[in-house]
Chain A
């Protein structure tokens, strides 16, 4: 059943057809905004973005700048599986894998770049990650740079834990941690 909305398109009356009173009414609205904002610029809702930022709600749906999580021993959780790079619709992730000299189980990312100029903040990389290694919960909004090169995040920019979070969650992590511990720590 299609819902139908009846629109009351009554013909314009004489005053409306000569436009001028209606134009005056429209001008009154815009001029009120103009003068109120001219004499009270502080009343405008604009946030001067890079210098001034709003407090963001810490909700699970809020996708903000990426980070790479660390294990308890400060090694990256990322195993360079290329899942996020494959899932990324904007092709903004570049990973180069390398092997631990003493670890035959997993690799680590020698290079992990995210080009924020191309990132569309879709969160696919977070969904794709089997290791829960990448997250978008830093509550920082990227952008507002004078130089394009400064929007490119490297592994060093990305690797960090949030306060109070040396993460050890996940089966693979536990396995890796145990393996590393059996080798005498790294």
Chain B
């Protein structure tokens, strides 16, 4: 047995570290998701001159509504779990998993920090540094369609099926744009590993401008944001659900199964925020912060402890994620919904040609600058 440990100590250490990182990171994401459900109600309330939920209390302590996610969770668990008589039982059960699992799996490739030295072991602050991480993002987000579609079809309800058809059409279309907007980044950074992309964004342009993706590709960032919100199926692209009048794909779902769909939507918000900050806003990079500490463009330097630097970087990544999550909430509560023909027209007639044009211009500029 000791021989086995000695022979595979690298592997065991790697697996243990990966399991630990997964546990910490996913729990952080889940906790943030729960808070995001509250934040959605609070942000929308403030935007509409309301106060928002503030009544759920524990031992008489309301804390301005901090316990509402807990109350929602308990309520969801206690509700009746209803399955329609004609539904395909197995697929009806599987559909929420299809919606949630690919999204959760995607967090494995997101780098949330550089690395920390723990007892001489270099702990990368990323669950899995996949060389083709960017493609993995596209692959798994494509699988999320099945959750929508199976949820709509397996309930054997015409309205749910119509919602699922809208969802499939919308998600397949915007998937294409999402993929094409990222091609420009691939060309500039020359790597599909998200950690490499973030490291490359630590450089400075002209000696003072952080070389973030948004500096190279401001246009692609807007296209990415639009396509990502459409993938997320929230207003202004919420024709899949259309909660106010047209009925969506999970209309027959109740209890925790419904909550899984709802939860996956909020997890997707976090995922989009993390991807946007990783690809376009430097991920965990803090401007002018290097491994040894701050080095300002003027030449001034401030040496910092290794752990402090790592903490600052993880904090910067969290702050960027929170900011984009908030921004997506604000967008969701500001814009009205598209009509379906407008939605398809926007995708195929505007965003897709623009994304292709972006690739062309990026290639031309790189060729002109001799960076190929």
> Which residues of A does B touch, CB under 8 Å?
20, 23, 26-27, 29-31, 33-34, 37-38, 41, 44-46
- Given A37-B46, A38-B46; A44-B334 close (CB under 8 Å): no
Complex A-B: 18 CB contacts under 8 Å: A23-B335, A27-B330, A27-B331, A29-B334, A30-B334, A31-B330, A33-B46, A33-B48, A33-B49, A34-B43, A34-B46, A37-B46, A37-B47, A37-B49, A38-B46, A44-B49, A45-B49, A46-B51
B333 at the interface (CB under 8 A from A): yes
What residues on A are CB-neighbors of B48 within 8 Å?
33
**Chain A neighbourhood of B49, CB < 8 A:** 33, 37, 44-46
Q: Kindly state the separation between the CA atoms of A34 and B326 in the bound complex, as whole angstroms.
A: 11
Q: State the 4 A-B residue pairs at the shortest beta-carbon distance, nearest first.
A: A37-B46, A30-B334, A30-B47, A46-B51
Q: Which residue of B lies closest to A146 (CB)?
A: B55
Contact of A34 among B51, B222, B330, B331 (CB under 8 A): B330
Contacts of A20 in B (CB 8 A): 222
Which of chain B's residues have a CB closer than 8 A to the CB of A46?
Answer: 49-51
* A26 in contact with B50 (CB, 8 Å): no
Task: Give the number of chain B interface residues (Cβ < 8 Å).
Answer: 13
> Using Cβ atoms and an 8 Å threshold, which residues of chain A touch B222?
20
A33 touches B47 (CB 8 A): yes
Contact B47 A41 (CB under 8 A): no
Against A, the Cβ 8 Å flags (1 = close, 0 = not) of B1-44 are 00000000000000000000000000000000000000000010
Contact A26 B51 (CB under 8 A): no
A157 to nearest B CB, angstroms? 25
Closest CB of chain B to A139's CB: distance in Å?
A: 25
Find chain B residues with CB under 8 A from A33 CB: 46-49
Given A20-B222, A23-B335, A30-B330, answer yes or no on A44-B43 (Cβ-Cβ < 8 Å). Answer: no
Which residues of B in the span 329-360 have a Cβ within 8 Å of any Cβ on A? 330-331, 333-335
A27 to B328, CA, bound (A): 11
Known: A34-B330, A41-B51, A44-B51. A26 touches B335 (CB 8 A): yes
Taken together as a complex, chains A and B put the C-alpha atoms of A29 and B336 apart, in Å, by 14
Instruction: Give the CA-CA distance A30 to B332 in the complex, in Å.
Output: 11
Q: Across the interface, do A26 and B46 meet the contact criterion of CB distance under 8 Å?
A: no
> How far apart are A182's CB and chain B's nearest CB, in angstroms?
56
Min Cβ gap A34→B in Å is 5
Q: Which of B27-80 contact A (CB under 8 A)?
A: 43, 46-51
Instruction: Apart from A29-B334, A31-B330, list 11 A-B contacts with CB within 8 A.
Output: A23-B334, A27-B331, A30-B47, A30-B333, A30-B334, A31-B47, A33-B49, A34-B43, A37-B47, A44-B49, A45-B49
Chain A residues lying within 8 Å of B331, measured Cβ to Cβ, are 23, 27
Q: Which residues of B contact A27 (CB under 8 A)?
A: 330-331, 334
Task: Give the nearest-CB partner of A31 in chain B.
Answer: B330
Minimum CB distance partner of A47 in chain B: B51
User: In the assembled complex, how far is the CB of residue B342 from the closest CB belonging to chain A, in whole angstroms?
Assistant: 10
Measured between beta carbons, the chain A residues less than 8 angstroms from B333 are 30
Which residues from chain A contact B50 at a C-beta distance below 8 Å?
A: 44, 46
Bound: A105/B44 CA distance, A: 62
Q: How far is the CB of A184 from chain B (nearest CB, A)?
A: 55
Report the Cα distance A27→B329, complex, angstroms: 11
Contacts of B334 in A (CB 8 A): 23, 26-27, 29-30
List, in ascending order, chain A residues with CB within 8 A of B46's CB.
33-34, 37-38
Digit string of B219-255 for contact with A (CB within 8 Å is 1, else 0)? 0001000000000000000000000000000000000
Bound Cα distance A31, B329 (Å):
11
Contacts of B51 in A (CB 8 A): 41, 44, 46
Least Cβ distance of A87 to chain B in Å? 35
Q: Quick check: B47 and A34 within 8 Å, CB to CB?
A: yes
Whole-angstrom distance between the Cβ of A146 and the nearest chain B Cβ: 10
Residues of B contacting A38 with CB < 8 Å? Answer: 46
Least CB distance from B180 to A in Å reads 19
Q: How far is the CB of A37 from chain B (nearest CB, A)?
A: 4
Bound complex: CA A41 to CA B54 (Å): 13
